[in-house]
Amino acid sequence: MAQVPQTFFDALAVRTWCGLALETLGRAREEIDAINVYPVADGDTGTNLYLTVESAVTAVEAVFAGHAARSGPEGPTLADTARAMAHGALIGARGNSGTILAQLLRGMSQVLAEAGTAQAGGESAQADGRGLRLALRHAADSARQAVAHPVEGTVLTVATAAADAACGAEGDCGTVARAAYEGARAALAATPGQLPVLERAGVVDAGGRGLVAVLGALVETFTGERPREAAATVTAGALRVGAGSRSAVVSEAGGPGALTAGDPGGPEGPHSRVVPGQADGSASGVPAGPAGDSQGLYADGRAPHARVEAAEELAPAVGAPRGECADSAAAADVDGPAFEVIYLLEAEDTAVQRLRERLDALGDSLVVVGGDGLWNVHVHVDDAGAAVEAGIEAGRPYRIRITHFGAGDVHTTGAERPPRERAQRAVVAVVPGEGLAGLYTEAGATTVLARPGEPPASGELVQAVRRAHAREVVLLPNDAELRHTAAAAAEQARTEGIRVALIPTRSAVQGIAALAVHEPERRFDEDVVSMTSAAGATRYAEVTVAERQAWTMAGICQAGDVLGLIDGDVAVIGSDVMATAETVLDRMLAAGGEMVTLVLGDEAPGTIAEHLEGRVREGYLAVDTVVYRGGRQGAVLLIGVE
């Protein structure tokens, strides 16, 4: 069904665009992953872009939900929604391309928010075609400034081309968006001629391909129509090459709209095949789809992956690199740094400038995006510790992610990792703190860390399932609010041929109980039943501190009160952690139990474990106690009774 078009760029348009961009990237994710060869051939650009936009969508939806909860007649403003989009993308940015996309969205939001706050009273604030042109221009410029050494033939080139094309368009937002999309599509098709590693691999830039998908969603937002190439995942990418004195551009689509010799544009996508000397589209070697499909598409709408054919007689491609950094060509032929380091950073602007200089000396692929005291830092280095230490000197780094590319990863050479045999069964679990992550990992589980206020998205869970590399996976969400997210991740993994069983654990202590009875040698169904039974037999509780005044099942709590939650509901409101923990534990054991599990957070009093163990030992016969350190898990104390 066609999308109802938005006339102006207002809050609803931001929401619509984010949702459509997420859907579009979801469809294109695997294709984009498959063509990811620069700056590192790690096959995750599509997934990183998807996770980045998913975080933006979550933030935008939270703004709309907040306004709906207040039951006000007015919805969120353009400024509020645009800022939420940018903030969500910033805190959720993954990988090199995801970080750059976050800066592009931030650049757009700054212009849109200014347009939104400039209009006071009367109608809802909105931006017109001129505002969208300015937003796209500022986005491209700010993204370029965020990259330490911009390289042409990448997403930066595509973003610049989109902005250039938009600035030359007159009309409403739909006209400007379509011009930007067409400009980006043509620039994408030219990327193999600008970056040798892309030409050798026979693909376009993966990050640029993702940006074209996002811009296609922008077109759909304002016109109600999905661009033809995006709807079919594009049939071909047209590239210009020189063959002696001739220049040929061919399109697999043939038919109406096919490119002819000398046409500088071309549909986007990684499926282009260039055949020197043939400009009429009758090229031999241009693959048709199955059963003679003249459009070159398979039945499910996918286009066949095509390559840029190498030929000794070819002259250098048109569109030589502009301003390419000196080390980019060398990067195509040698291995790069061993680690990717990403973290959020709270720091002042002056400290960030010094940080850029230090990280630039440590490695490459440096991208620092953000502002107003919050930054997302991405860099490839050999010394991951030094990159983190640089962040500590600059401010407060958190959500630190360090990925080792591994000996099997070849940087920008297009070589594939040696295949790794799949395990028969694995457990994937969401855990609230570093201590529990270590415990689960020691027990053989693949973990996803959920920090306070930062629940994992479905794409992150899917990534963890893939990382487990098993034919069968047991998924433990360990949080009642993650049930739907985990179900979506399980469904996605099943479409990839992985057998997934979701056990609806609502607390990490239920997950511990399930993991304790896990036996990979059993039949899958039997193992799942046993783990589900163990989790279901475990009552769970937590002791935490109230952040604000609120109504609860136990009455009204004030900020700073100590809350005791049993099976998800507030049962005790107190003023002392130790006393509240005692009351909660007594209530849980009143119904019986054989084992008490205590998971201590960093804020737990130093003597609480010893005190509660003694209370169990003295007051309850034949009940054992086990204590774990959870680290920064949000709650002061987690309690399980089974």
Q: What are phi and psi of 345, to 5 degrees?
A: -140, 125
Look at strands 637-641 and 539-545 and give their pairing: antiparallel
Query: CA geometry: angle at 470 spanning 468 and 471, to 5°?
Result: 150
Q: If residue 495 lies in a helix (H) or strand (E), which one and from where to where?
A: helix 483-495
Q: CB of 593 within 8 A of CB of 642?
A: yes
Ranges assigned E (strand) in 28-178: none
* pLDDT attached to residue 76: 85
Inter-CA distances, 557 with 66, 70, 560, 577, 579, Å? 21, 21, 8, 15, 16
Please name the helix (run of DSSP H) or strand (run of DSSP E) that holds residue 470, with its range, or none.
Answer: strand 470-476
Helices 11-34 and 78-92, axial angle in degrees (round to 10): 20
Of 154, 153, 151, 49, which is closest to residue 102 (Cα–Cα)? Answer: 49
8 Å CB contact between 580 and 635: no
pLDDT score, position 602: 86
Positive or negative: CA dihedral 483, 484, 485, 491: positive
Token pair, residue 71, equals 């039951």
SS3 for 607? coil
Structure tokens at 18: 């984010």
* Best CA proximity match to 475, nearest among 443, 442, 499, 453: 499
Give, as one character, the DSSP assignment of residue 417: P
Measured distance CA(46)–CA(448) in Å, rounded: 20
CA angle 53, 56, 62 (to 5 degrees): 145
The alpha carbon of 56 is separated from its chain's Cα centroid by a whole number of angstroms, namely 9
Q: What gap in Å lies between CA 612 and CA 382, rounded to an integer?
A: 46
DSSP per position, 73-113: SS---HHHHHHHHHHHHHHH--HHHHHHHHHHHHHHHHHHH
Residue showing tokens 């070589």: 415
Q: How far apart are CA 580 and CA 451, in angstroms?
A: 24
pLDDT along the chain (642 residues), means of 10: 65 92 87 83 82 90 80 76 92 89 93 66 67 92 90 92 91 91 92 88 90 93 77 33 27 30 33 31 31 30 30 29 34 61 90 90 88 90 87 88 58 44 89 85 88 75 88 94 85 87 94 93 93 94 90 89 93 93 93 91 89 90 89 88 92
User: Does the CA dihedral 132-133-138-140 come out positive or negative?
Assistant: positive
Distance CA 38, CA 414 (A): 9
Quick one: which of 73, 81, 69 has its CA closest to 19?
Answer: 81
Tell me, what's the pLDDT at 639?
95
Q: Is the dihedral of CA 543, 548, 549, 550 positive or negative?
A: negative
CA distance 23 to 214: 10
Q: Spell out where 103-236 has E strands.
A: none
What pLDDT sits at residue 339? Answer: 85
What residues pair up with 429 in beta bridges, in sequence order?
447, 476
Using DSSP's 3-state secondary structure scheme, residue 590 falls into coil
The residue among 435, 578, 619, 406 whose CA lies nearest residue 512 is 435
Are the beta carbons of 39 and 96 closer than 8 angstroms? yes
Q: What is the DSSP string of 511-545?
A: HHHHHHT--TTS-HHHHHHHHHHHHHT-EEEEEEE
Buried b (16+ CB within 10 A) or exposed e, 322-347: eebbeebeebbeeebbbbbbbbbbeb
| Contact call for residues 466 and 448 (beta carbons, < 8 A) | no
> Using CB atoms within 10 A of its CB, is residue 453 exposed (0-12), middle (13-18) or buried (19+)?
exposed
Q: Under DSSP, is residue 330 helix (H, G, I), strand (E, B) or coil?
A: helix
417 burial level (CB within 10 Å; 0-12, 13-18, 19+): middle
CA distance 218 to 231: 13
**What whole-number distance in Å separates Cα of residue 488 and Cα of residue 482?**
10
Q: Are the beta carbons of 445 and 467 closer than 8 angstroms? A: no
- DSSP element (H, E) containing 364: strand 363-371
Which H or E run includes 162?
Answer: helix 155-167
Radius of gyration of the chain (CA): 27
Helix axes 95-118, 129-146, angle to 10 degrees: 140
pTM reported for the whole predicted model: 0.56
